[in-house]
Structure 1
Amino acid sequence: MRPTSEDDLAALVRSAPGPLRVQGGGTRGPLAEGDLLETGGLSGIVLYEPAALTLVVRAGTPLAEVQAALAAEGQRLPFEPGEMGGLLARPGASTIGGVVATNASGPRRVQAGACRDSLIGVRFVDGRGTVVKNGGRVMKNVTGYDLVKLLAGSHGTLGVLTEVAFKLQPIPPATATLILPDLTPARAVAAMSAALGSPFDVTGAAHLPGTGTLIRLEGLAASIAYRVDRLLVALAPFGQAVVERDPAAAAALWQSVRDGAPFQGREGDVWRISVRPSDGPEVAARLGGEVVMDWGGGLIWALYPAGMDARAQLAGIAGHATRVRGASPDIPAFPPEPAPVAALTAALRAQFDPRGILNAGRG
C-alpha cells in the first residue's frame, strides 16, 4: 500500500484488517510486523521560507531531497541526521518522516539538540484513521499532549506522519576539525569532555576508529582561527592535533561518524548504546572489538558478534542499548522499559492506536 494523499492514508488505516508495517525508506532500525504501508507517495515540500528559517515538508520526501533544497539556500537541518541504509544494508532512501519517527540525530546534537528540538509541527493519521495536527510554523507553547515531541521517536507506533515542520539553521561560512590520533577510548572521552566543556562552542566530538578523536568548530572564519588556536593549547596534554580545514574533507569525516561507515559491509550485529559520556570507556572495554563514539562518548555504535546480547555485557551501566542491525528470536531489538515507563507507553498507544495496528513490535 502506497497512498498518495493524506485522505487516502486515513482511509487505508481505518479499513486495515490487521497490523500495518509503516515504512518510509525502510532504512532505520528493526522492521515491524504487518502489511507494508509505504509513505513515499506523500512527498514534496509544502512551504519553505528561507528568510524565516522555516520548512514544511511531506513525510515521505527523501531526506537527500530536503537537504539539497536547504543547501541551495545556504541552510540545513540543525540536528544533522544520517543515512542508515548503508549500515543496515538496505537499498532504500531515507525519508524525512523516518528521521522524525526515530528522532534521528547526528553529531551536532551536542550543540544543536535532537531532531525533536528542531521540530515545530506535525500532521499525522492515528490508529483510528483520524487526521491530527499539532504545532505549527513557529515555536509556541501547547496544552495537553505535546504531540510534536511525542511523535518524534515514537517509531510510528502512535500515528503515521504525513507532514512535518522544522526550524532551520544557516550553514556557517567556515569549519575546522581537530584530529587527535591514537587515543584510547578513555583518553578520547577525556579529550572530548575537555573540548565540550570549553567556551569554544564545539559542534561535534567523536572518536572514529582508524582516524582519531574529532573535535569540530563552525562559524565565522576569524572566530574559527581564534578558537582553533585556543583549543590546540587546551588539548595539548592529549597529543599533537592535526587540523582539517577543508570543508569537503571535514564533512566526509563527520559523515563517517554519522552514518556508521566503519561497520558498513561487515559481518556482525550493530548496537546503538546511549550512556553517560563518563561511562563510554567502560562500555567500550566490556564489549571489546571496535566502537565508534559520538556525542562526547554518550552515544556508542558497536559491532558485535551475530546473535550475542550486548545488554548482558553492560549490566550495571545506566543507559539503554538497541540492536539496529541483526536479528535474534531470544533478544529483543529494543530494551525492556521500566514498569512506570511501560505503563505510560501503553496508555499513550491505547489513546492513539487502540487497535494496536501501527508498527507492532517497534519501540
Structure 2
Amino acid sequence: MTTFIPGTSAEVHEIVRWAAAEETPLEVIGHGTKQGIGRPVQAEHTLDLSRLAGVTLYEPEELVLAARAGTPLAEVEALLARHGQRLAFEPMDYGPLLGGKAGRGTLGGVLGANLSGPRRIAAGAARDHILGIDAVSGRGEAFKSGGRVVKNVTGYDLSKGLAGSWGTLAVVTDLVFKVLPAAETERTLAIAGLDDAQAAAAMAEAMGSDGEVSGAAHLPEGVIGRFLDGGFSGGPRTVLRVEGFGPSVAYRVERLGRRMKAHGAVEVLEEAQSRRLWREIRDCRPFADGTDAPVWRVSMAPMAGHRMLDAFRRAAGANAYYDWQGGLLWLRMEAEPKAETLRTLIARCGGGHATLVRATPALRAAVSVFQPQPPALVALSARLKAQFDPRNILNPGRMAVA
C-alpha cells in the first residue's frame, strides 16, 4: 500500500488520473479525523491531502475566504476570530468523539461531511455557505464550480452537490466559503427539571418567539453531569442560546427568561460558560469517552424525537441528548442493538435519518452506516457516481457496499 501526499493541485490531478487509468482505488483523507465514520474503505492506496494546506484568499470586507482542502479548520477559525468573523454554521469537531485530538479537522472535510453545529437551526450547514470549489473527479478530470461571490453560481451548483459525499465523487483541492461577522456576545438560558416532552414544547415556544434563539438543546438526567465539568446540579437542563450585540442580547434574554419561567426555574449562563457549553454540545463531548461504544446521530422532526427515544429505550439501553430544538439526537448505545430496530422506530415516528458515527470496524462493516435511501434516490446516487467516478476509485465502499 502506498500513501500519496501531494503538495499541489496539479499533483492531485496527476495521481487521480493515474488511479483512474489503472482502476486503482484510493482512500482520500485530510488528517483522518473522520476515518471512523462510514463503512471501512476498500482501497489499495491512500491519497493524503494534509500538505495541500493554506489560506489562499481572505477578504474580510467581502466576507469571503478561500483555502486549500487540507487547511486545518482550527487555523481558519483562528484567522477569522482575529477579524471578528466566523463560519456561521459552527462546524462540529469529530476528533474527540472518535478518539483523536481536537482541532485537527480540515476545511475539505467540512464540506465532505457537510458539517454543522447547534447554529444549524438558524444558519444552515456547510453546503449553505460554500461559494466555490476546485476539484478532480474520479475520471481524472479537473473542474471548477462557483466562484468568490454568490452571483457566480449559475446552472448546477456542484459545490453544494459534493457536500456530504464523503469523498466518493471527487477530490476537492480548493474551497471558497462565505464568512459572517461574529456575535459580540452571547448568553444561555437554562431551564431546570423538564422531561423530554416538556423540553420539546419549551424549545418550540422559544424558537417561535422574538428571542432570535440560535441554539436550543435538551440535556437529560443521564448526560447533564458531563457538561461544564459537572457544573449543573439538580437534574436536566433545557438550554437556549441568544447571540448578538450586548444591549440586544440583554434585552432578549430578559424577555425570553420571563416567558420561559412558565416552564421551570431559569438561570442565565454568561458569555464564557455559554461558549464552552455550546462547544461541548456541538462536539458530542459527553460521549467522547475514549471507547468505541456505538454512537448514533439521528435527525428527525423536532417534536417527534422524544417519542422515538422513549420507544427505543424500551427495546434497548441508550443514553442520549438533543440538539437542533430536539431535531438532532445523539445516542450512545449500552449494547449493540440491530440498526433495523432504531430505523423502524424512526419511520414509525414520522421518518428521519440515522447515521452510525462511532463503532468497531466489525460493526461498521456489518450494518448500513448511513440511512438507506428509497429506490428513486438510490438510482439518482448511482447515476451521479457513474458520472463522477465510473470506475469507483474514490473511497469505495464508504457509503455503500463497493
CA contact under 8 A between 1:269 and 1:326: conserved in structure 2? yes
> Size of the alignment, in residue pairs?
362
Percent of pairs with identical residues: 45
Q: 1:252 pairs with 276, 293, 297, which one?
A: 276
Q: Structure 1: which 5+ residue stretches go unaligned?
A: none
2:171 paired residue among 160, 163, 176: 160
Distance 1:305 1:4 in 2: 43
Provide the residue aligned with 2:288 in structure 1. Answer: 264
Shift of 1:309: 2.5
User: What is the match of residue 299 of structure 1?
Assistant: 328
Q: Is the 8 A contact 2:97 2:288 kept in 1?
A: yes
Structure 2 SS opposite 1:134: strand
Matched residue, 1:52: 62
Please tell me the residue identity of whatever aligns with 1:356. N
Aligned match of 1:100? 111
Calculate the aligned-residue CA RMSD, in Å. Answer: 1.5
Does structure 1 retain, via aligned residues, the 8 Å contact 2:339–2:368? Answer: no
2:390 aligned to which of 342, 349, 354: 354
CA drift at 1:305 = 3.4
Match of 1:339 in 2: 375
| 1:74 aligned partner | 84
> What TM-score, normalized by structure 1, do the two folds share?
0.96
Cα pair distance change 1:33/1:181, threshold 3 Å:
farther
Matched with 2:300 is: 275
- Counterpart residue number, 2:9: 6
Which of these residues, 171, 178, 189, is aligned with residue 189 of structure 2?
178
Question: What is the CA deviation profile of residues 188-234 of structure 1, one whole-angstrom value per residue up to 9, with x for unaligned ones?
Answer: 11111111111221110112331521100011111111111111122
CA drift of 1:143 comes to 4.2
Specify which of 208, 213, 216 is matched with residue 202 of structure 1: 213
Which of 358, 374, 395 is residue 325 of structure 1 equivalent to? 358
Structure 2 residues without counterparts, runs of 5 or longer: 225-231
Equivalent residue in structure 1 for 2:241, among 201, 216, 234:
216
2:137 is aligned with 1:126: yes
Encode CA deviations 1:107-141: one digit per residue, 9 max, x unaligned. 01111111111111111111012111101111026
Q: Does 1:238 align with 2:263?
A: yes
1:109 and 2:120 are equivalent in the alignment? yes
Report the TM-score when normalising by structure 2.
0.87
